[in-house]
């Protein structure tokens, strides 16, 4: 089903205004695949007609559904396993020593989609009972998609989703089979909070020790990316750690963060890194 360049530009503008994410004009296949179900639901003949209805403003729900359909929810358990090992073995261990007095840790999975990343963190914590015994650990997962957050809270995944990155031993230990689906155990679900949040808006209240914002910023324009980096930095403890996706970096993107000189692949706030270097 063909869609005009003008209609794609309208959708791209709407998506970026609402979410910060950019949609390349040439990616007609994505628009067609994402919006085709709405053609039938709203009984319109073409995608251009659907876009006309969206811009008319007479149906706010249609615009919301179109944005939801265009969002990229790609995620899976233990995505980039070596990165999670680095965070677990070096990042969290260093924070454990630094927070020994309070025994409190706050972790934010920003742009968590359907929850696999946040549950991965919770399983990492649960796998080290001796290390974290007596600690209060708050894991917050946020996303701008109501549908994604609803699924994350439910913690229910298809056979395909559960097998993506999740070791069989973890699947059997942390999830309960329900027909053709698997649901996170009550204990695992209790370990994570989920809430709606748009990265274009001010961050959740309070300071975090670890922020994961992975494979999200690459969809933003440079200016929006810089803004989001700044807001994330403002939501972090001075010695907090930032974890990005495997193909992402802060270099040339922001002055708020620098590469962690002790754990390459993680990032520190620039001010904290400078202070540590001076002390040494």
274 has pLDDT over 60: no
Q: Could you tell me the sign of the dihedral formed by the alpha carbons of 202, 204, 209, 210, in that order?
A: negative
Beta bridge partners of residue 236, listed in sequence order? 208
Q: Which pLDDT value is given to residue 98?
A: 97
276 has pLDDT over 70: no
Distance, CA of 237 to chain centre = 19
Cα 13 from Cα 233, distance rounded (Å): 27
The string of pLDDT tens digits covering residues 135-153 is 999 999 999 999 999 999 9
Q: Which pLDDT value is given to residue 94?
A: 96
Which regions of 80-135 does DSSP assign to beta strands (E)?
Answer: 104-110
Q: Which pLDDT value is given to residue 200?
A: 93
186 has pLDDT over 60: yes
Q: Which pLDDT value is given to residue 30?
A: 78
Q: Is the pTM of this model over 0.85?
A: yes
- Domains (range + CATH), the chain: 5-70 (no CATH), 81-279 (3.40.50.150)
Cα 8 from Cα 147, distance rounded (Å): 23
Average pLDDT, stretch 206-213?
97
Q: Which pLDDT value is given to residue 25?
A: 67
The string of pLDDT tens digits covering residues 25-56 is 666 777 888 888 888 888 888 888 888 888 88
């Amino acid at each position: 089903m063909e869609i005009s360049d003008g209609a794609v530009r309208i959708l791209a503008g709407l998506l970026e205004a609402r979410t910060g994410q950019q949609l390349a004009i040439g990616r007609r296949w994505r628009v067609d695949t994402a919006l085709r179900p709405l053609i039938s639901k709203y009984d319109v003949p073409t995608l251009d007609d659907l876009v006309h209805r969206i811009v008319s403003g007479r149906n706010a729900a249609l615009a919301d559904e179109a944005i939801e359909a265009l969002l990229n929810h790609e995620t899976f358990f233990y995505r980039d396993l070596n990165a999670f090992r680095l965070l677990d073995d070096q990042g969290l261990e260093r924070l454990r020593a630094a927070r020994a007095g309070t025994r409190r840790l706050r972790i934010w999975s920003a742009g968590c989609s359907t929850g696999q990343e946040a549950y991965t963190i919770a399983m990492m914590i649960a796998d080290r009972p001796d290390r974290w015994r007596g600690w209060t650990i708050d894991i917050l997962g946020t996303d701008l998609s109501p549908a994604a957050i609803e699924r994350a809270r439910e913690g229910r995944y298809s056979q395909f989703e559960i097998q993506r990155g999740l070791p069989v031993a973890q699947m059997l230990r942390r999830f309960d089979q329900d027909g053709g689906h698997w649901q996170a155990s009550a204990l695992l679900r209790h370990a994570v909070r989920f809430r709606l949040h748009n990265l274009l808006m001010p961050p959740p209240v309070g300071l975090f020790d670890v922020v994961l914002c992975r494979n999200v910023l690459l969809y933003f324009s440079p200016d929006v990316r810089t803004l989001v980096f700044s807001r994330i930095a403002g939501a972090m403890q001075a010695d907090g750690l930032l974890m990005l996706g495997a193909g992402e970096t802060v270099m040339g993107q922001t002055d708020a963060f620098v590469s962690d000189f002790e754990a390459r692949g993680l990032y520190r706030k620039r001010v904290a890194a400078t202070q540590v270097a001076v002390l040494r």
